[in-house]
Amino acid sequence: MPLALDPKERFEVCLESDKDKPPETRPVFVYHYLTGRQWREIARRQDELDDISAGADVADLTYESAQTGLVDWRNMIDPATGESIAFDSDRLDDVVGVIEAQELIAKLLRQLPNREDKKKCVSPSDSATEPSAPTVLAPPTVKIPLAPDRRSKSNV
């Protein structure tokens, strides 16, 4: 079964700023694997950002993209109360800033765990019989080309 169609297949993302925190307290975002259509829609939104000058519109597109496939989070703590923030993808903008949302998008579009960094971000599973989802830790890059560069080397 393709990963995007299997409801049990998920991967975890942690922000670069959190990767050195202890696994028990490290904030983690859990995503479902994207379909090709979802991936292209996010990439199109990223392309649209180049033509937008209004900051609120940039933020709206960024959060909309970062929410795609987001199914859970762990260890999100309200600094004012010290209480855990219950998962609600519509509240992503209450949890991360726009730059952090862009980092989530970059990692979401890669959907692949980085073996070396995976060890820094993986947290213990809630169940002894169920492994944790793979973790994605890639450098934050927002623009992902949709097709290979067709320019010849002489034109570069």
Contact 50, 142 (CB under 8 A): no
Give the torsion sign (CA, 64, 53, 17, 144): positive
Task: Give the β-pairing of 28-32 and 135-136.
Answer: unpaired
- Output the pLDDT for position 156: 43
Read off the amino acid at residue 64. E
pTM: 0.69
13-27, 53-67, 135-149: least confidently modelled range: 135-149
Mean pLDDT (whole number) for 92-96: 95
- What percent of the chain is predicted at pLDDT more than 70? 71
- Considering only the C-alpha atoms of the chain, give the largest distance between any 2 of them, rounded to a whole number of Å: 59
pLDDT of 89 above 90: yes
Mean pLDDT (whole number) for 48-69: 85
Per mean pLDDT, which of 25-29, 46-50, 120-124 is the most reliable? 25-29
Query: For the chain, what is the mean pLDDT?
Result: 78
Mean pLDDT (whole number) for 77-85: 95
Give the separation between CA 34 and CA 44, rounded to whole angstroms. Answer: 14
pLDDT of 93 above 80: yes
Torsion angle of the four alpha carbons 122, 11, 142, 102, in this order, in degrees rounded to the nearest 10: -70
| 25, two tokens | 């307290």
